[in-house]
Amino acid sequence: MKSRTWLLPVCFLGLMMLESCSRDFSTAPTDKQAREFTPLEKRLIESGNPFGFELFREIVRSEEDINVFISPFSASMALGMTLNGAAGTTETDMRGTLGFTGWDQDDVNASFRSIMELLLSADPATVMEIANSIWYRDDFSVLAEFISANQEYFDAEIRPSDFDSPDAPGIVNAWVSEKTHGRIPDIIDRINPATVMMLINALYFKGTWHYEFNTANTRDDFFRFPDGESAACKMMQQKATLSYMENDAFQAVELPYGNGRFAMTIFLPKPGHSHLDLAASLTIGNWQSWKAQFSSQELTLQLPKFKVEYEIRLNDVLSGLGMAVAFDPAGADFTSINPEGGLYISLVKQKTFVEVDEKGTEAAAVTVVVIDRTSAGPPEILMRVDRPFIFLIRETTSDAMLFMGKIVSVAG
């Protein structure tokens, strides 16, 4: 269900937040807030952040012993595009899960459009790229309203395609690789015969620390695992005045990028406290409370260099958060994509990448929502004889077996 490769475990990596508190840095990043948030932007953040925290908590609960790195924003945007095609109970449950209960759909779309524009222009010194696309089977009819809404509000590329072509997965993956600067080279292995649509969000971030770590201060060190074992690592170090808070359970520090509009918040459990308990306590209420306690403090920070690649199938997590009907072939309602119905989400999958070093952070995420058709008929059968096999030669009227063979190797 999930796979990932990693070079260095981390206790807990704080999510990059869309909002930043007012900070008193020693050499303060300038122009942190170029303009006020619009009401729709504020509403999106207030609704979307609880979804992000809940998604993270649920994943950590099921992935206790491995690194986790997700993009709630990417997942929310891919599902936000999909929401334009939902109807009935499916729409209601998706809205509840994503935090959009009571929202008019035009406001949902407009808020995503607005926050995209804000993020893309927030910091000229930070690379922030967002790309959306909708791929659908070229003989599948899609309502014009669904297409136009996603084009207008999400800047979605619309790509009718021959899903049966052996080149189709490669074309989709090439788009993913391009939009993530090669950090996520693929998102799908193959396209099922029942698949009629894929909605994809790609997110790319590259930020330089406002206070870079001096490479001369990086030393060989060790990182301790929860079981008491340890592994060698490269430990960066700097002394700076940063936004910091602590309580009985953890220490926390905020590292700004560029002009300060983007930042990484790191939470470190104190001895005797678990990173799992800390992750479980990361609710929107606690975050708001903790955020207000940060203040400018001079400190020495030691932080390991690390790189993580992560992949997760989100079907079960999202079902548990309240939108199970969207994955139910018999119950899902996506008649706002195609009025004939018979559509359901067969897969929500996310792949991510993050690398942290002395200069800053590079991160990427791709989320794909795969829509399948229940009325697509029997699946295509493929028999690929590329391994040892048995064969017979017989006379068919009498069924006389003339020859029988076992082939374990062949010569070209």
60-104 pLDDT, tens per residue?
888 878 888 899 999 999 999 999 999 999 999 999 999 999 899
Which residue is it, tokens 């909708």?
A: 134
pLDDT tens-digit profile of 277-293?
Answer: 989 998 989 999 999 99
What was the pLDDT predicted at 155?
97
| Average pLDDT rounded to a whole number, residues 197-203 | 97
155: left (phi over 0), alpha (psi -120 to 50) or beta: left
User: Above 60 in pLDDT, residue 16?
Assistant: no
Q: Which two tokens stand for residue 271?
A: 């001895």
pLDDT for residue 402 = 61
User: Exposed, middle or buried: residue 125 (CB in 10 Å: 0-12, 13-18, 19+)?
Assistant: middle
d(CA 150, CA 307) in angstroms, rounded, equals: 33
| Secondary structure letter of residue 379 according to DSSP | P
- Asked if residue 55 is part of any domain, the answer here is yes
| Secondary structure class of 1 (helix, strand, coil) | coil
Residue 51, domain member (yes or no) = yes
Asked whether residue 259 is domain-assigned, the answer is no
Q: State pLDDT tens for residues 395-404.
A: 565 555 566 6
Give the Cβ contact number of residue 38 at 10 Å: 15
Tell me: pLDDT of 1 over 90: no
Question: Token digits for 324?
Answer: 């199970």
For residue 147 the two structure tokens come to 């297409």
Question: 47 lies in a domain?
Answer: yes
CA distance 284 to 361: 25
In a domain, 283, yes or no: no
Task: With H, G, I as helix, E, B as strand and everything else as coil, classify residue 203.
Answer: strand
What's the pLDDT score for residue 21?
Answer: 32
**Is residue 247 included in any domain, yes or no?**
no
Q: State pLDDT tens for residues 115-126.
A: 899 888 888 999
Domain of 160 in residue numbering reads as 3-208+306-373
| 13 compared with 371, residue with greater pLDDT | 371
Nearest to 129, CA basis, from 190, 202, 67: 202
Structural domain contains residue 54: yes
| Helix axis angle, 72-83 to 88-98, nearest 10° | 160
User: What are the C-alpha distances in Å from 145 to residues 98, 106, 272?
Assistant: 22, 12, 55
Q: pLDDT value at position 333? A: 96
Cβ neighbours for 344, distance < 8 A, ≥ 6 positions apart: 326, 327, 328, 329, 331, 332, 334, 371, 372, 374
Average pLDDT, the chain: 85
Q: What is the mean pLDDT of residues 301-329?
A: 94
Number of domains in the chain: 1
**CATH number for 86:** 3.30.497.10
- 39: pLDDT confidence band, cut at 50, 70 and 90? confident
Structure-block tokens of residue 168: 């189709």
Helix (H) or strand (E) holding 80: helix 72-83
Q: Quick check: helix, strand or coil at residue 258?
A: coil
Size (the chain), residues = 412
- 2, pLDDT greater than 50: no
Reported pTM: 0.85
For residue 411, being part of any structural domain is answered with: no
Average pLDDT on 366-383 reads: 78
pLDDT of residue 161: 96
- Residue 405: per-residue pLDDT: 67
* 252 strand-pairing partners: 245, 267
318: pLDDT strictly greater than 90: yes
Q: Residue 209's pLDDT is what?
A: 93
Least confident segment among 74-83, 163-172, 266-275:
266-275
Beta carbons of 341 and 333 less than 8 angstroms apart: yes
